[in-house]
Amino acid sequence: ITIEGRAAKRVFLAALCSVCQALQGGMLFPTESPSREVKDVSGLWSFRADLSPERSRGFEQQWYKSPLAETGPVIDMPVPSSFNDITQDAKIRDFIGWVWYEKDVWVPARWIQDQGTRIVLRVGSAHYYSVLWVNGVKVTEHVGGHLPFEADISGVLRQTSGSACRITIAVNNTLTLETLPPGTIQYMNDRSRYPAGYFVQNTNFDFFNYAGIHRSVLLYTTPKAHIDDITVETTFSDNIGLVSFNVSVLGSSKPAVKITLSAQDGRCVASADGSRGVLKVTDVNLWWPYLMHENPAYLYSMEVSVENTEDGQTDVYTLAVGIRTVKVTSTQFLINNKPFYFHGVNKHEDADIRGKGFDWPLVVKDFNLMKWMGVNSFRTSHYPYAEEILQMADRHGIVIIDECPGVGIKDIRSFGNVSLAHHLTVMEELVRRDKNHPSVVMWSVANEPASEMPPAGFYFKELVSHTKSLDSSRPVTYITASNYARDLGAPYVDVICVNSYLSWYHDPGHTELISLQLNTQFDDWYGKYQKPIIQSEYGADAVPGLHSDPPMMFTEEYQTTVLQNYHNVFDQKRKEFVIGELIWNFADFMTTQTITRVVGNKKGIFTRQRQPKAGAFLLRERYWRIANETGTGVELNEMLELALVISAN
């Protein structure tokens, strides 16, 4: 990582060494309760990119020790957002290296004065690796761009300047062969064409490498004796639901733990004492996916109360619980013992101006569009999405394939021990964060890796096995685009997920070949592995408003023709072993600049501004028809009315 300089490189290596220790704790989403407060410190931050040749001046001059504005020019930067599209400066849009954020916040005096209060600083995500200081004191560092990290800053605040809190975060978006996703830095040494020190970031994925603080920055409190983690697993038999729970408590040697499970009307339906146990729920309301049941997405409320018998302090945390089961057979995916067919989309966290920054209006709009279309599922391609999105999916009954950032693993050097160790750690962080979401029904450990390379067999055997050891209640997959006969990781997954772009990247323009080639694809994969198959990506670029008859590539007519030809085969094979179809993509999204991309990838069925193309209407008709065929007997018109009511509420 030569562009960062020696000081910055030491920071990165130290973070790699310390990340396993950080995983010892839990990562509960911050919520307010009688014992907890949350203060959102997002908003406008001061920002400065380190434009020095080595990108290391900030560390060498210790910018974290004084207000950032005293080190040089700063600009306003909104948090959460990517920094790339905020300014008019192309150097900022394409910047690779360290950027620095800073904000002064006031911490409530009672938080500081109460020695029994624990004060935590949490970053929802920052891409790619980060170092965090409070009042000039380093409090934590984190490797990885899509998952939260936090630090107990109680001691720092009480030892420095009290209520004044200067938060400094340095973020580096450099990708190497050992990061997820991986990349390489290429120096251009031809002095007749490039100036000295000129370099580019190379990647093997087709989306823009947005960077910055992408999710909220929060301060929150807990008592010193506090609930650190909660794990729930659910099942049912007849009308009895079972909720197994395991509560981790820190800061007390003799905690008194009480669990109360309440229905949506507030009635207590089960309770227990102790940190581990099983709750029994009579006449259980199961969590069902959207369009699979007349009462989808039923959530119970589990209140965990911990009293520290040493000082009488109590900590309270409430967790939404959906009771459901997931099973996989050789031909079916079962939710609550009923066959479930994925009719959904792939997405990106991507939008104009904000890049990958979390934005509530966009999230709500996307869920409304998905439900309008009859979407029952999506994949978090190609990285973990914000926790708030998973909470929305829990509440709306949208099923999720939860994917880690293992995209673009094409270089054999990215299958080494360092890469594998980091990949295992990322899966630990992902499972730790998302394990309690009923909407999450499957883990995806990678997208389109070079799984035919010799190291891939061992790599994915270890990766899948480790993920199952973290969570045995969900199946594990990865997304393949390899030849079925040479895929070395497929034997270890529970579901085969295949990406193919027939008549686009293969035989472009020849939609008449899709039926033959897609049937062959499915028969080959199933014949070899005898596992259910999801068509995890398919589609074609469509420039909105571009038309041609007969259809030609890049027109809306060509996109719909490709979709129709795929759908004809899906309708045959879903009677056998195909269990799902996920269109690529829900909406157009930004990519790096190349001669094959005209201001981004245009395979969306919606534009980047969420306006429908012809393909959106085609899929809407198809998905509602499938829902009517595979649902619980609720007629299509009733489902449409139900969708309108839910959207209105």
- For the chain, what's the residue count? 649
Q: Could you give the strand order of the β-sheet that contains 314-321, starting from the edge strand earlier in sequence?
A: 268-273, 255-262, 300-308, 314-321
Question: CB–CB of 130/174 below 8 Å?
Answer: no
End-to-end CA distance of the chain: 50
CA distance 162 to 107: 8
Residues contacting 297, CB < 8 A, separation 6+: 287, 288, 289, 290, 322, 394, 395, 396, 397
Q: Which two tokens stand for residue 158?
A: 């009480």
Q: Which of 628, 639, 626 is nearest to 294 (CA)?
A: 639
Q: Could you tell me if 444 and 497 are in contact, meaning their C-beta atoms sit under 8 angstroms apart?
A: yes
The candidate with the shortest Cα–Cα distance to 452, out of 423, 492, 411, 489, is: 489
Please state, in angstroms and rounded to a whole number, the distance separating the CA atoms of residues 103 and 64. Answer: 11
> Closest by alpha carbon to 227, among 470, 435, 430, 28?
28
Cβ neighbours of residue 200 closer than 8 Å, sequence gap 6 or more: 185, 186, 188
Question: Which residues partner with 271 through β-bridges?
Answer: 260
Q: Give the angle 405-56-217 at the CA atoms, nearest 5°.
A: 50
125 in Cβ contact with 430 (< 8 Å): no
Round to whole Å and give the CA distance between 296 and 264.
13
Determine the Cα–Cα distance for residues 102 and 66; give it in Å rounded to an integer.
Answer: 10
CA 194 to mean position of chain CA atoms: 38
The C-alpha atoms of residue 217 and residue 610 are separated, in whole angstroms, by: 27
Tell me the β-bridge partners of 98: 172
At 398 the three-state DSSP class reads: coil
Residue written as tokens 């310390």? 18
d(CA 641, CA 649): 12
- Active-site residue, 448 included: yes
Q: How far apart are CA 241 and CA 234, in angstroms?
A: 7
60-65, long-range: CB < 8 A, 24+ apart: 60/5, 60/7, 63/100, 63/168, 63/170, 64/133, 64/136, 64/138, 64/168, 64/170, 65/136
| Cα–Cα distance measured from residue 80 to residue 354, given in angstroms and rounded to the nearest whole number | 8
Give Cα 237 distance to the centre of its chain. Answer: 32
- The whole-angstrom separation of Cα 322 and Cα 286 is 7
Q: How far is CA 75 from CA 59, 68, 170, 174, 446, in A?
A: 19, 10, 15, 22, 37
Buried b (16+ CB within 10 A) or exposed e, 61-73: eebbeeebeebee
- Of 4, 349, 403, 448, the catalytic one is 448
Residues known to be catalytic: 448
